[in-house]
């Protein structure tokens, strides 16, 4: 049975990539189909058809297409999860209490690559599987990172605002070409950013917990050196206790006054309050922000809004990974992960985060 379902997974993935017809079912549907709850936003028809072809009942959350599942009340979430074998989750916190309340829930899949909102230890303890969609949005996030660098350096936001109010003066910005760019973190996305930067004739400095001596075109340095030398500091590290507020009052004061900070990783990597203070004091030149501390704390929304309102800040709402192509890849990979977990089949490369079935 597992072999049949795995064959179906592979065939379906190939057909989806070719844009062909929906995959054929790998086995007759059982009388009662396993239920898969979808609460992540923008889950598409192709991934839904894939799951249905594998014999699953796909149950949407009922939220508007672009609404965050973090806004689902606890009682409503528990009702939705009743009887679900799999859950493709968006921004909702997956807590020990939620997992314990639904012992039939076997797999929790994220379309993205972050899993800081999932209690991974609880999942292991309770015998559950946690997956991510590794690699799905890497190109989109890397592209977005470069876009933010250019937008801030060339003062695009200020220029557009000036024209809109009838002011046609030329606002002089700065080149990216020839600059020194510091990357904090050098995982999949950091490496893709470095490759894109190679076309700009920049010097790329990297600080990482695991330096790669084989990496071409970059120089590994200590964080203090990276902060002091870089014209652009770009964040690509996971949010863990050691990296929280890696950009803080001290690091901001150590930067060049002409420096720009870009964050397309996790909001907690920057102390947003000290960033706002540094921008107001002219300690750095600008920032490109796709993520904010306010995503995890509604009380900080005014702070995020104050940052976004600044002329020298270009802000997007955690949208770096949300290109049409990235969403399609992530939806299909998360669906494949759910199907693999419930069939006992191999997972797509890099997607398995926790497997509580293995003790």
Q: Are 259 and 253 in contact (CB under 8 A)?
A: no
Out of 52, 266, 283, 293, the active site residue is 266
Q: Is 266 a catalytic residue?
A: yes
pLDDT digit string (tens) for 65-110? 678 898 899 999 999 999 999 999 998 999 999 999 999 999 999 9
3-state secondary structure of 174: coil
Out of 111, 144, 318, 329, the active site residue is 318
The whole-number pLDDT of residue 26 equals 42
Residue ranges for the chain with pLDDT beneath 50: 1-29
Out of 49, 102, 295, 329, the active site residue is 295
CA dihedral 147, 153, 158, 164 (to 10 degrees): -50
Question: H-helix or E-strand containing 14?
Answer: helix 2-18
The whole-number pLDDT of residue 14 equals 42
Q: Determine phi and psi for 74, rounding to 5 degrees.
A: -55, -45
pLDDT digit string (tens) for 214-235? 999 999 999 999 999 999 999 9
- Domains in the chain with CATH codes: 2-136+324-355 (3.40.50.720), 138-315 (3.40.50.720)
Q: Is 225 a catalytic residue?
A: no
């Amino acid at each position: 049975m597992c072999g049949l379902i795995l064959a179906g997974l592979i065939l379906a993935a190939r057909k989806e990539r070719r844009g062909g017809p929906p995959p054929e079912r790998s086995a007759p549907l059982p009388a009662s189909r396993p239920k898969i709850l979808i609460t992540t936003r923008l889950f598409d028809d192709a991934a839904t058809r894939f799951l249905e072809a594998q014999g699953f009942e796909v149950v949407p959350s009922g939220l508007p297409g672009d609404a965050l599942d973090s806004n689902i009340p606890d009682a409503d979430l528990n009702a939705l999860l009743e009887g679900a074998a799999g859950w493709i989750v968006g921004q909702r916190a997956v807590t020990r209490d939620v997992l314990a309340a639904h012992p039939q829930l076997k797999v929790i899949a994220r379309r993205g690559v972050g899993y800081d909102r999932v209690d991974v230890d609880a999942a292991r303890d309770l015998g559950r599987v946690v997956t991510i969609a590794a690699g799905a949005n890497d190109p989109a996030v890397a592209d977005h990172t470069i876009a933010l660098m250019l937008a801030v350096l060339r003062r695009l936001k200020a220029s557009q605002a000036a024209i809109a109010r009838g002011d046609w003066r030329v606002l002089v910005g700065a080149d990216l070409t020839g600059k020194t760019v510091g990357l904090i973190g050098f995982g999949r996305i950091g490496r893709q950013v470095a490759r894109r930067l190679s076309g700009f004739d920049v010097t790329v400095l990297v600080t990482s917990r695991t330096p790669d001596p084989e990496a071409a075109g970059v120089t590994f340095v200590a964080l203090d050196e990276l902060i002091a030398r870089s014209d652009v500091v770009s964040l690509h590290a996971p949010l863990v206790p050691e990296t929280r507020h890696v950009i803080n009052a001290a690091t901001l004061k150590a930067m060049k006054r002409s420096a720009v900070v870009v964050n397309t990783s996790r909001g907690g990597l920057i102390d947003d309050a000290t960033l706002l203070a540094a921008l107001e004091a002219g300690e750095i030149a600008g920032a490109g922000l796709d993520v904010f501390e306010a995503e995890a704390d509604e009380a900080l929304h005014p702070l995020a809004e104050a940052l976004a309102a600044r002329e020298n800040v270009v802000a997007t709402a955690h949208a770096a990974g949300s290109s049409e192509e990235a969403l399609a890849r992530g939806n299909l990979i998360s669906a494949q992960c759910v199907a693999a977990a419930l069939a006992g089949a191999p997972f797509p490369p890099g997607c398995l985060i926790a497997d509580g079935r293995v003790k």
